[in-house]
Structure 1
Amino acid sequence: MTPAPEPQAAPRRSDIPRVGDKQDKAESVQRMFASIAPRYDLLNRVLSLGVDKSWRRAAAREALLLSPTTLLDVATGTGDFALELKRRSPETQVTASDFVPQMLDIGRRKAQARHLEISFEEGDALKLPYPDASFESLTCAFGFRNFADYQRGLAEFWRVLTPGGRLVILEFPPPAEGVFGRVFRFYFRQVLPRIGALISGNAGAYTYLPESVLAFPDPARLARMMHATGFRTRVQLLTFGIAAVHVGTKLA
Structure 2
Amino acid sequence: MASNDVQKVVPFEGSKLSKKEQIAHMFDDIAGRYDFLNHFMSLGVDVQWRKKALKLLAPLQPKTLLDVATGTGDVAIMAHHMLKPEKITGIDISEGMLTLGREKVAKAGLDGVITLQQGDSETISFPDATFDAITAAFGVRNFENLEKGLAEMCRVLKPGGKAVILEFSNPTKTPVKQLYNFYFRYITPLIGKWIARSQAAYSYLPESVKAFPQGQAMCDILHKVGFQAVTCKTLTFGICSIYCATR
Scaled by the length of structure 1, the TM-score of the pair is: 0.89
Residue 230 of structure 2 corresponds to 233
Residue 21 of structure 1 corresponds to none
* 1:65-99 superposed Cα distances (whole Å, 9 cap, x missing partner): 30011000000000111111011123431101111
CA distance in 2, matches of 1:174, 1:86: 30
Aligned-residue RMSD, C-alpha: 1.6
Which of 72, 76, 79 is residue 85 of structure 1 equivalent to? 79
Name stretches of at least 5 consecutive residues in structure 2 with no aligned partner.
1-10
Residue 33 of structure 1 corresponds to 27
Residue 154 of structure 1 corresponds to 150
1:131 aligns with 2:127: yes
> Contact conserved, 2:171 with 2:237, CA < 8 A, in 1?
no
TM-fit CA distance, 1:140: 0.5
Residue 217 of structure 1 corresponds to 213
Q: 1:208 to 1:39 in 2, by over 3 A?
A: same
Q: Report % sequence identity.
A: 43
Q: 1:15 to 1:204 in 2, by over 3 A?
A: farther
**Counterpart residue identity of residue 79, structure 2:** L
1:142 aligns with 2:124: no
> Contact conserved, 2:31 with 2:97, CA < 8 A, in 1?
yes
Alignment of 1:28-67 (within 5 A): 28-67=22-61
Alignment of 1:136-215 (within 5 A): 136-215=132-211
CA distance in 2, matches of 1:121, 1:63: 23
Scaled by the length of structure 2, the TM-score of the pair is: 0.91
Name stretches of at least 5 consecutive residues in structure 1 with no aligned partner.
1-10, 18-23
* 1:185-217 superposed Cα distances (whole Å, 9 cap, x missing partner): 110001111012111111100010011001111
TM-fit CA distance, 1:50: 0.6
TM-fit CA distance, 1:16: 11
Residue 75 of structure 1 corresponds to 69
CA distance in 2, matches of 1:12, 1:137: 33
**Counterpart residue identity of residue 13, structure 2:** R
CA distance in 2, matches of 1:142, 1:111: 20
